[in-house]
Amino acid sequence: MAPPRNRRPGFSRRAQYGLFLGYVIAAFGAVIAVVLLLLSTFNPGAFSTVRGAAREVTTPLSSGMDSVRGWFGSIPGAIGEHFGTVSENRKLKKQLVQARHVVQQARTLGRENRRLRALLKLRDRDTGTVAVARLVSSSASSTRRYAILNAGSRQGVRPSQPVSGPNGLIGRVLETGFNTARILLIIDPESIVPVQRTRDGLPAIVVGRGDGLVEVRSASVANAPFLSGDTFVTSGTGGIYPPNIPVARVIRNSTDSSLGRVFASPDTVDFALVQQVFMPKLSPSANDREAPRAEGDE
């Protein structure tokens, strides 16, 4: 047989008080239940009043409990939304980086397109084009400034031929190989280019300095004023460079001579245009052929 349950709390006063309080609460609840039952049976109006008062008391508690329950219930959703937002943020950042890369490529292609269009216009305007080739390298650490052109005698390139870019004059051919040529840049100290000022035709010469800049010197007028922004183009004097090719712009006010910055920097030029010498010298064989004709005519 199962041992009988021992409901005695023993000698613990705490257990005794707890058991007594339980009995009191149960009795109190039974009394309230009986009273409410009697009110609902014999006096429904009073029972409605009591029920309304109980509702007024319990409604705030129910609302508070419902808010707490809703808050705890929204925690899993908030956590999921947080991780979803983090993941979406990472995706957007990755897409932004890719978009920036695409924009940078587009800008690079745009600049390349503008240079090639300018070079194409220059080639179309000039009937003495020899070759269009790429500048594969240039000397930047030495005081002597040369560049290597990816075209040579096989493409018709010869010494002394002028070389231009989309923005202006680059230099002239110094030496040629079968498929390559060495270019003397106009920023080299040995380079001298006859030029004229665009606003008044003042004759001058542009001499390289070897440091990326050039010196613009007056060729005829003493103490000629140079103003910042004055633009100089080739004059055609000397018979090498065709006229009206942009060469340099003065960067500060001065008298008799001033510093200038070239339009076509070899560091930013990709393609170059090789042109015929403006006034080519007659070969001795041509002179010999002309002499018998003169004698025969006589």
Residues 137 and 268 in one domain: yes
Residues 111 and 140 in one domain: no
Residues 53 and 140 in one domain: no
Residues 136 and 266 in one domain: yes
Q: What is the pLDDT of residue 127?
A: 52
Total residues found in the chain within this entry: 298
Four-CA torsion 140, 227, 255, 233, nearest 10 degrees: 60
Name the E strands within 150-250. 162-164, 169-176, 181-185, 192-197, 203-208, 213-218, 225-226, 231-234, 246-250
| Domain of residue 153, CATH code | 2.40.10.340
Q: What is the pLDDT of residue 232?
A: 93
**Would you say residue 9 lies in a domain?**
no
Domain-terminating residue out of 125, 152, 175: 125
Residues 119 and 226 in one domain: no
Q: Residue 272 pairs with which residues in a beta bridge?
A: 133
**Would you say residue 19 lies in a domain?**
no
Q: What is the pLDDT of residue 125?
A: 52
Domain-terminating residue out of 125, 151, 174: 125
Report how many domains make up the chain.
2
**Would you say residue 81 lies in a domain?**
yes
- Tell me the C-alpha distance between 132 and 124, whole Å: 12
Residues 264 and 160 in one domain: yes
- Tell me the C-alpha distance between 270 and 277, whole Å: 22
Residues 112 and 180 in one domain: no
Helix (H/G/I), strand (E/B), else coil: 218? strand
Domain-terminating residue out of 125, 157, 187: 125
Among the residues of the chain, which ranges form H helices?
A: 13-42, 44-125, 284-297
Helix (H/G/I), strand (E/B), else coil: 4? coil
**Would you say residue 264 lies in a domain?**
yes
How would you write the pLDDT of the chain (298 residues) with one tens digit per residue?
455 555 555 556 777 777 777 777 888 777 777 776 776 777 666 666 766 666 666 667 666 776 777 666 677 767 777 777 878 888 888 888 888 777 777 776 776 676 566 656 555 555 578 888 888 877 655 667 888 898 999 999 999 999 998 888 999 999 999 999 999 999 999 999 999 999 888 899 999 988 889 999 988 777 788 999 999 999 988 889 988 899 999 999 988 889 999 998 877 777 888 999 987 765 555 445 444 444 334 3
Q: What is the pLDDT of residue 30?
A: 79
158 burial level (CB within 10 Å; 0-12, 13-18, 19+)? middle
Cα radius of gyration rounded to whole Å, the chain: 49
Per the structure, the complete domain to which residue 56 belongs is given by 43-125
Residues 141 and 266 in one domain: yes
Q: What is the pLDDT of residue 139?
A: 67
The CA-atom distances, in angstroms, between 297 and each of 8, 232, 287 are 157, 47, 16
